[in-house]
Structure 1
Amino acid sequence: MEYAGYRLVERLLSLFTLAQVDRLGSAIGSAFFYCSSKYRRLAIRNLRIAMGREKSRGEIDKLARATCQRTIANFLGTLKTTVLPTEEIEQHVSLLGKEHLRDALSGGKGAILVLGHMGNWELLNRLHQYLPKGTPAGGIYQPLKNPLVNDLLLQRREQDGSQLFNKRDGFHAPASFVQSGGLLIVVADQKVGRGGTPVPFFNRLSSLSPLPALLARKAGVPVVAAGIESTSPGKWQIVFEPLGPRPLTTDIISTLEKLIRRSPADFLWLHNRWRLVGKTPLSISSRKSKTTPPTTNPMRTVLLTTEAPDLPALERYLAHRDPSDFPLSCEFLFVTEQAEESNASNFPIHNLVAPSAGQVAAELNTLDENGVTPIELVLVLTPSSMLEEGSKQAKVPRMITNRKELPLDEFLQSLTADFTKT
């Protein structure tokens, strides 16, 4: 049924020009923005984390709507692009900085082309005519769960001679392909968790794939980054930026960020890019980096409690925190039965008197909206059904309750991998 649905959509799109498909996708994306509160909130939250310190909330909301429009339009555009005759592709794409790609391939070996989830990335599988004669092109792909759709997409992507490598088969074959003179396309902005390299991405620490840097080092080939921008309905511009030989993962990600900033609406903001997972969400990874990442924007955390905030315990924890972990911005929401006078503190303390779960949710939502960046984590320090239900109603991305009622610093240590006291 999935395969039949996919072929049906392909058939329907064949009735329209690529410009018409783009306009249709933009209209659907606009409706999607207003109808899907889940993805609207997700897009706005991601953009606030990435750009909340440089754009107003009105600009963020406008960009989130444009993101939904471009995401659907680019998705439908990829479906249309994969079935277009090769000779028609040139009518819909222009290249900026293509000399950087040719220079990278002029040394006798191949090159690695890195990109993010941006624009109509299927165009890169159809650009063999722009490469030096005889240069093979290929890419690493993640197989789909549906084997029928997966086989169809492989057929579409290989129609112009591309050679695709299954991510699950290891990286010896892709490395050999590059060393023999091929151009290997690698998506480099994927969050990979424990096996990743902690690097800044939009000034927010994230664990991203070291694969492009490792392949370039192993094969001894240069790296070029690509960004794909929408220029008009059904038309895109591919921008190439050189990285040279042996770039670090930090260099690759910062160059991709530069390209994304040229046209941020074309980037895929509709997935939970900075989702906190696992039992140690206060750590970037349970495998520490050998070097301390540069200072980045902190992760905003609210400590929800019905007891007086234990400021010394929080200060002790932060003082001994591993510098390779997330920087944190902590604030307390102190739920009381009567008004309390807040003392001077290095951490904001918000008081809430005699609340219900709904009032807790409303206060969390207010704090979230009034901050430059959104709340990413709520820690319920004193187990309470009211506090937990209020956190759930507020729909914060992640909530953890101190069910063992540990002292504050011990509870925070339990959420941090490889915590070492000094």
Structure 2
Amino acid sequence: MLDYSVYLFYRAASAVVALLPLRFLFHLGEVLGFVTWLVHGGYRRLAQQNLRIAFGGEKSERELRRVARRHFQRLGANLLSSVKLGTMPPEKVLECVAIENPDLVHAELRQGHAVAFALSHLGSWELFAQVFPKHFGYVPNSTVYQKLGNRFIDADVREKRARNGVVMFDRQQGFQKAIELLRGGGVIGILSDQHAGDHGLWTPFFGRLASTSPLAALLAKRTGASVMAAAIYTVSPGRWRMVFTPRLDNPGESVQEITARLNRLIADQIREAPEDWFWVHNRWKAPKPNFLLSHYKRGVYLPPEDGAAELKPFRILLRSSNWLGDSVISTAAVRAIKRGRPDAHITIATPPNIAPGWKLLPEVDDVLPLPGKSLFAA
């Protein structure tokens, strides 16, 4: 009953939005986003934390706070605009979007290559489902999606995308149908910039290891499809720019190599318009309690240009035993922790009389002597 009540409210709000001008809704979304930035401390702190990870060595705290505020405004504007765009005729939607480099995609398709698009949560990303069929409608269009929690809203969203000519594949039902579509020469869009959980590949994103979906690369390897990327940037109120990149994969490359290259490309896209990306998502979430990444299914991949020394550190504080013998026994555990994460920066908190011994262990990066044998005394 609650889900249906929320759905009715969603439909009523959509009907009101459909009556209002797009530019007005964009500015209204900016105001609502600013209010959210003011009152929602949790999301504000998460956005600022993510921005520090990405740009901490490049931007001042003042600049990071400004980007975070602008992000909330831009996110509100784009989300409200997306609702309006979903009610507009396709030809009116196309008038709002400037397309760059579509010939790159046409060239791949005309050579008989299917295309697996790696997409990102930049700008008004819902435009992908509306624009792709109008430009590449001579082949089947599809996307992989995560089912929404409200089944009524989920059905409405799927119906609208189907009207645009997009086939939707629920990731929980497997990917055999997606593979068949690609083998038939179609295109598929995959949002590839979010935390992928236990099944992701841990590879650098802005210099820090992040669980990354390898799905675009996996589907391409299984079907012979080309891997390409597209991004949407906000140009002005009610106007966007969609940019396509050249083919990203090369013959003989591994899934790991392609996925790592996609991460670098998406980071470059975000640098072009940082306020446009979805910073209120925990992209660099650390798994708990199993934070040693070597134990996960796909493990860790470091591209040759991104060695362990180039990674932003994952800091680990360990409390040493007060006794020398126990500390010697625990060195094996410290070595295992260091092997479990190439980005591990290990600090040992230890009584002063044992500190010289810990400094001899190459896996230990810092030693913190504890006056009075207390962790809190440091």
TM-score by length of 2: 0.83
SS at match of 2:188: strand
Structure 1 window deviating more from structure 2 (211-220 vs 286-295): it is 286-295
Q: Is the counterpart of residue 297 in structure 1 residue 307 in structure 2?
A: no
**Shift in Å, 1:214:** 0.7
Aligned partners of 1:288, 1:129: CA distance in 2, in Å?
33
1:62-85 CA-partner distances (Å, limit 9, x unpaired): 111111112222211221111111
Q: Is the counterpart of residue 329 in structure 1 residue 345 in structure 2?
A: yes
1:98-139 CA-partner distances (Å, limit 9, x unpaired): 222222212113211111122111111112465356222111
What is the identity, as a one-letter code, of the residue corresponding to 1:121?
A: W
Q: Is the counterpart of residue 261 in structure 1 residue 267 in structure 2?
A: no
What is the identity, as a one-letter code, of the residue corresponding to 2:276?
A: D
Structure 1 window deviating more from structure 2 (128-137 vs 266-275): it is 128-137
**Shift in Å, 1:89:** 0.9
Aligned partners of 1:272, 1:352: CA distance in 2, in Å?
36
The equivalences for 1:394-413 within 5 A come to: none
Q: How many residues align?
A: 353
Aligned partners of 1:308, 1:54: CA distance in 2, in Å?
43
1:88–1:304 distance in 2 versus 1, CA, 3 Å: farther
Report if the CA contact (8 A) 1:226-1:256 is conserved: no
**Shift in Å, 1:284:** 6.0
SS at match of 1:14: helix
Q: Is the counterpart of residue 145 in structure 1 residue 164 in structure 2?
A: no
TM-score by length of 1: 0.74
Report if the CA contact (8 A) 2:96-2:238 is conserved: yes
- The structure carrying a bigger helix percent of its residues is 2
Calculate percent identity across the aligned residue pairs.
Answer: 28
1:317–1:216 distance in 2 versus 1, CA, 3 Å: same
Aligned to 1:217: 221
Aligned CA-pair RMSD? 3.2
Aligned to 1:107: 111
- 1:92 corresponds to which of 67, 84, 96: 96
Aligned partners of 1:352, 1:38: CA distance in 2, in Å?
36
Aligned to 1:18: 22
What is the identity, as a one-letter code, of the residue corresponding to 1:262?
A: E
Aligned to 2:34: 30
**Shift in Å, 1:277:** 2.8
SS at match of 1:181: coil
Aligned to 2:162: 158
1:347-402 CA-partner distances (Å, limit 9, x unpaired): 2648799xxxxxxxxxxxxxxxxxxxxxxxxxxx97xxxx7xxxxxxxxxxxxxxx
1:17–1:304 distance in 2 versus 1, CA, 3 Å: farther
Structure 1 window deviating more from structure 2 (240-249 vs 74-83): it is 240-249
Aligned to 1:418: none
**Shift in Å, 1:15:** 2.7
1:348–1:80 distance in 2 versus 1, CA, 3 Å: farther
- 2:190 corresponds to which of 173, 177, 186: 186
What is the identity, as a one-letter code, of the residue corresponding to 2:119?
A: L
**Shift in Å, 1:331:** 4.4
**Shift in Å, 1:290:** 7.6
Report if the CA contact (8 A) 1:22-1:76 is conserved: yes
SS at match of 2:24: helix
What is the identity, as a one-letter code, of the residue corresponding to 2:66?
A: K
Aligned partners of 1:167, 1:272: CA distance in 2, in Å?
20
What is the identity, as a one-letter code, of the residue corresponding to 2:341?
A: D
Gaps of 5+ in 1: 354-380, 388-422
Aligned to 1:275: 285
Report if the CA contact (8 A) 1:226-1:259 is conserved: no
Aligned partners of 2:228, 2:345: CA distance in 1, in Å?
36
Structure 1 window deviating more from structure 2 (19-28 vs 295-304): it is 295-304
Report if the CA contact (8 A) 1:114-1:223 is conserved: yes
SS at match of 2:366: coil
